[in-house]
Amino acid sequence: MRSMKIFVSGLVVVGLATGFAGAVSAQSITAARGPGYPVLPTDGRSVTMGGLGIGLHGLTATMVNPAAAARMTRRGALVALEVTERNVRIGDAEDELGTTRFPLIRVAFPMGGVVLTTGYGGFLDQNWGLVREGEQVLGDTTVAFSDRLISDGGVGQFQFGLAVPVGERLDLGAAVGVHLGSQRVEYSRRFEVGTEGFVDPFQEIMSWRYSGPMAQVGAQWAPADMVLVAASLTWSGTLVGDSTAGRAGRRELDLPLQIAGGASGVLVPGLMATVSGRWSGWSVTDADAIGVSSPAGPASSRDTWEVGGGLEWAPIRPAATRIFPLRAGIQYRQLPFPFAEEAPTEWFASVGGGMRVGPDPQNPLAAVDLAVQRGTRTADGAGTFGDLTERMWRFTVSVGLFGN
């Protein structure tokens, strides 16, 4: 009888074929259902203070709001690195996994009263591995087998943007871009060698290259010197996956409309608070159009909410050339694709700090930010696998360099 024990395998996998952003180590089981695990293209400062970074005073490199760059006066670039260590438990099965990815690369170029931006960030991670053990009847003999299903790859977002200040308090921005990526799926079955003799193993490899359009508009407004509010809308078209190997055919996937908003304000000199949130219409997505069928049955996607907030303590001293802010925050995320019948949810608590070189928080000469997160991810196994529980540490560091 076929065993229903399925667990996450600690597999080493390659990054995105684009070469800009992606994972270089195994991802959790939540990447295996539907199109993958949604990745936030944010920097270390935004991660610590709720995750999205929209409506955040000071230097913000997130790709959630194109208007955030409007007040930049220095050209430069910022890169973020994220490392995750997690303990995964599915029923009685348990494993330790690690993930390393570059979720964001961002470049800004002020020119003639406007700011041009470009960047590449994460969107969907499709790195995962599954192992299933069972038995198969071959003639008059029952032979044990082991199946391995491995997926490498993911989808990122590449943007060109324009941000412009309108007067002293309003900023507008727009961006156009594409989703780009690739996925390679390898299926293999190996039979146990016994007295019945050798049975040839089976292997099949399929791969796809993905692309699809996207566009984004955003605005931010400072009704007072100590307050900033912002909103953005991101449209994504159909993601098309063209087969590049194997028998798999062309894939098409509708991507969600996303609406984000946030605000920040100075409570007392040196202490700032921020809140942000985003709704994503993932229910338009056919969760089985890109993904692998499982014993749990078809996957149905859902609309999701992400909300978070945080505090930053960064007293500015006259004539100081270096500022060392301290931060703390919390974040809640719903994932769009189910583990069994229920989609997982995530909670993260964050602490972090950083360094700004230069007296202007919006336009430093250099910026370094570190975030340390402790989080959990849970989902009901619906009696099929056993419940999913993931406990994780996540470390994010971002470095930005800017000049005239």
Per-residue pLDDT, 160: 96
Q: Give, in order, the Cα–Cα distances in Å from 279 to each of 38, 41, 49, 292, 334.
A: 13, 16, 18, 26, 10
| Residue among 164, 205, 156 at smallest CA distance from 182 | 156
What is the C-alpha separation between 158 and 203, in angstroms, rounded? 34
What is the C-alpha separation between 204 and 179, in angstroms, rounded? 27
Tokens of 306: 């992400």
pLDDT above 60 (res 27):
no
Tokens of 16: 């995105």
Per-residue pLDDT, 24: 33
**Residue range 145-173: mean pLDDT, rounded:** 91
Specify the range with the lowest mean pLDDT, choosing from 182-186, 189-193, 273-277, 297-301.
297-301
State the DSSP H helix or E strand holding residue 173, giving kind and residue range, or none if neither. Answer: strand 170-191
Q: Indicate the pLDDT class of residue 159, thresholds 50, 70 and 90.
A: very high
**Residue range 362-370: mean pLDDT, rounded:** 91
Quickly list DSSP for 207-233: EEEEEEEEEEEEEEEEEETTEEEEEEE
pLDDT above 50 (res 255):
yes
| Residue among 325, 326, 329, 328 at smallest CA distance from 308 | 329
Per-residue pLDDT, 45: 94
**Residue range 233-260: mean pLDDT, rounded:** 89
What is the C-alpha separation between 173 and 66, in angstroms, rounded? 5
Question: What count of other Cβ atoms lies within 10 Å of the Cβ of residue 384?
Answer: 16
pLDDT above 50 (res 12):
no
Question: What count of other Cβ atoms lies within 10 Å of the Cβ of residue 357?
Answer: 15
Per-residue pLDDT, 104: 93
Domains of the chain: 6-403 (2.40.160.60)
Q: Give, in order, the Cα–Cα distances in Å from 11 to each of 96, 131, 154, 390.
A: 11, 11, 15, 17
Per-residue pLDDT, 165: 96
**Residue range 309-327: mean pLDDT, rounded:** 86
Per-residue pLDDT, 198: 60
Which one is predicted more confidently, 304 or 315? 304
Q: Indicate the pLDDT class of residue 197, thresholds 50, 70 and 90.
A: low
* Residues in a beta bridge with 229: 221, 263
Q: Give, in order, the Cα–Cα distances in Å from 243 to each of 122, 210, 238, 282.
A: 22, 9, 16, 24
Which one is predicted more confidently, 48 or 251? 48
What is the C-alpha separation between 106 and 134, in angstroms, rounded? 47
Specify the range with the lowest mean pLDDT, choosing from 95-104, 193-202, 228-237.
193-202
Q: Indicate the pLDDT class of residue 8, thresholds 50, 70 and 90.
A: very low
CA 233 to chain centre: 18
Sequence-ordered list of residues with C-beta below 8 angstroms from that of 63, at least 6 positions apart, any chain = 41, 42, 104, 106, 119, 121, 157, 159, 175
Which one is predicted more confidently, 171 or 61? 171
pLDDT tens digits along 80-117: 999 999 888 877 777 787 888 889 999 999 998 899 99
First to last CA, the chain: 69
> SS3 for 120?
strand
Please, what is the average pLDDT of the chain?
A: 83
E-assigned strands of 6-113? 6-8, 37-38, 75-90, 93-111
pLDDT above 50 (res 23):
no
* Residues in a beta bridge with 23: 101
pLDDT above 70 (res 21):
no
pLDDT above 90 (res 186):
no
**Residue range 224-239: mean pLDDT, rounded:** 95
**Residue range 285-309: mean pLDDT, rounded:** 72
State the DSSP H helix or E strand holding residue 45, giving kind and residue range, or none if neither. Answer: helix 44-48
